[in-house]
């Protein structure tokens, strides 16, 4: 928590607004929309709830297909099942670990050939990094397929606009000289946009593990005020405007508490500091592990600026002489938690038998990928400990 959250919660208690509506909710929605780059926002009980309402808005029906990134957390895809629709997965590309635009085009064209035009695309912005929006937006527009952006892990990231972001923040660890001159020129000349603000709508999460948190919570953001208004209606049990309780549609209990919204407002104020801290973790690891053979960091795509929500690496067993699992276990022995990169959805038992376009890239990232400890509050001593355990795995190889 930052310096402001407790004060805002105290304000909420003093006003006795302890409900899933109230002035903190309204204020958080406005402040979040400003930061998320959209006209409106609905703050909700979770990011998963936000995705569910986005699919409701599109009227996704039983048996219809919805495309989704395969390398992600299951919450990206579960709401497709809530509506008894059919998830179809799309592989990642190497340069961003996010959805491969070429695979997306292939998936859409093949779906149309099969007489199953996808009803929507759920695009995930993974580990704090924006997907390559331009070609994905163009492909969706060409086929008139709505784009839902899952930006649960990417609040604070930018697509383009790297230079602006650098100016507004104190520390900078990736010098622009690391980019080729042409790319650097493109990045600096084009204003940045927030992932989640480009498609029909986007979702954010304030779950405990995200870059900012309200303990649990999420949001649906969009430039379409009608969509947001309808989402709020469904999220508060779909109460028709009447003095008595009247309902003509299925409702949900998905609204965020006024108390949690107060926390969210305080957290938004420290978002930039959190981004700095996460990027500083990554820079530390790069500096102290960058020389290890066969260890590679998740690339930061040239078109944007990642928050480095998590610092992720891959360990190539053929080159390093060790492997992901050995390193993970060595860390676990020292009571340091590190987890494999997301297990792709097309490999999950719950999604067995579902179609996936490509898959080899995300499968390799899962086999070789490790998320290092990445909390915003890690101390240098803690980072040093992680580094020394990881380095030992290279030393002890046969």
Ligand X SMILES: *Cc1c(COP(=O)(O)O)cnc(C)c1O
In the complex, the residues that contact ligand X under the rule CB under 6 A are 46-48, 72-73, 75-76, 124, 150, 152-153, 205, 207, 218
Give the C-alpha separation, 124 to 203, whole Å.
Answer: 10
Residue 42: is it exposed, middle or buried by C-beta count within 10 angstroms (0-12/13-18/19+)? buried
Shorter beta-carbon distance to ligand X: residue 48 or 362? 48
Shorter beta-carbon distance to ligand X: residue 87 or 323? 87
Give the C-alpha separation, 178 to 231, whole Å.
Answer: 43
Distance in Å, CB of 207 to ligand X, minimum: 4
Distance in Å, CB of 323 to ligand X, minimum: 25
How many residues can be counted in the chain? 398
Give the C-alpha separation, 122 to 75, whole Å.
Answer: 11
Distance in Å, CB of 327 to ligand X, minimum: 23
Shorter beta-carbon distance to ligand X: residue 46 or 374? 46
Shorter beta-carbon distance to ligand X: residue 78 or 296? 78
Give the C-alpha separation, 71 to 257, whole Å.
Answer: 31
Shorter beta-carbon distance to ligand X: residue 52 or 390? 52
Both structure tokens of 125:
């912005």
Distance in Å, CB of 152 to ligand X, minimum: 4
Give the C-alpha separation, 72 to 90, whole Å.
Answer: 11
Contact of 203 with 148, CB cutoff 8 Å:
yes
Compute CA 313 distance to the chain's CA centroid, rounded to the nearest angstrom.
17
Distance in Å, CB of 388 to ligand X, minimum: 29
Shorter beta-carbon distance to ligand X: residue 211 or 356? 211
Give the C-alpha separation, 116 to 226, whole Å.
Answer: 28
Distance in Å, CB of 126 to ligand X, minimum: 7
């Amino acid at each position: 928590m930052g310096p402001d959250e407790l004060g805002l919660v105290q304000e909420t208690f003093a006003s006795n607004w302890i409900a899933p509506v109230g002035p903190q909710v309204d204020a958080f929605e406005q402040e979040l929309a400003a930061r998320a780059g959209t006209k409106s926002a609905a703050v909700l009980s979770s990011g998963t709830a936000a995705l569910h309402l986005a699919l409701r808005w599109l009227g996704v029906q039983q048996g219809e297909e919805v495309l989704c990134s395969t390398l992600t957390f299951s919450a990206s895809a579960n709401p497709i099942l809530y509506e008894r629709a059919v998830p179809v997965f799309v592989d990642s590309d190497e340069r961003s670990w996010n959805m491969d635009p070429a695979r997306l085009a292939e998936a859409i064209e093949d779906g149309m050939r099969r007489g199953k035009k996808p009803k929507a695309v759920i695009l995930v912005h993974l580990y704090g990094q924006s997907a390559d929006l331009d070609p994905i937006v163009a492909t969706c527009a060409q086929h008139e397929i709505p784009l839902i952006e899952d930006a649960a892990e990417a609040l604070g990231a930018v697509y383009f606009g790297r230079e602006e972001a650098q100016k507004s923040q104190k520390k900078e660890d990736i010098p622009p000289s690391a980019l080729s001159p042409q790319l650097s020129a493109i990045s600096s000349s084009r204003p940045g946009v927030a992932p989640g603000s480009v498609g029909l709508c986007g979702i954010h999460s304030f779950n405990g593990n995200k870059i900012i948190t309200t303990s649990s919570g999420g949001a649906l953001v969009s430039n379409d005020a009608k969509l947001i208004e309808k989402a709020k209606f469904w999220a508060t049990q779909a109460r028709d405007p009447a003095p008595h309780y009247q309902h003509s549609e299925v409702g949900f209990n998905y609204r965020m508490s006024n108390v949690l919204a107060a926390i969210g407002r305080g957290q938004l104020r420290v978002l930039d500091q959190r981004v700095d801290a996460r990027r500083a973790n990554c820079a530390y690891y790069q500096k102290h592990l960058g020389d290890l053979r066969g260890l590679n960091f998740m690339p930061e795509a040239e078109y944007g600026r990642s928050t480095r929500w998590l610092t992720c690496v891959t360990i190539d067993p053929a080159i390093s002489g060790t492997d992901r699992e050995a390193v993970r276990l060595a860390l676990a022995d020292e009571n340091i938690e590190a987890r494999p990169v997301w297990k792709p959805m097309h490999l999950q038992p719950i999604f067995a038998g579902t179609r996936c376009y490509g898959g080899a890239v995300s499968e390799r990232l899962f086999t070789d990928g490790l998320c290092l400890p990445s909390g915003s509050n890690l101390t240098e001593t803690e980072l040093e400990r992680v580094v020394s355990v990881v380095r030992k795995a290279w030393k002890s190889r046969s």
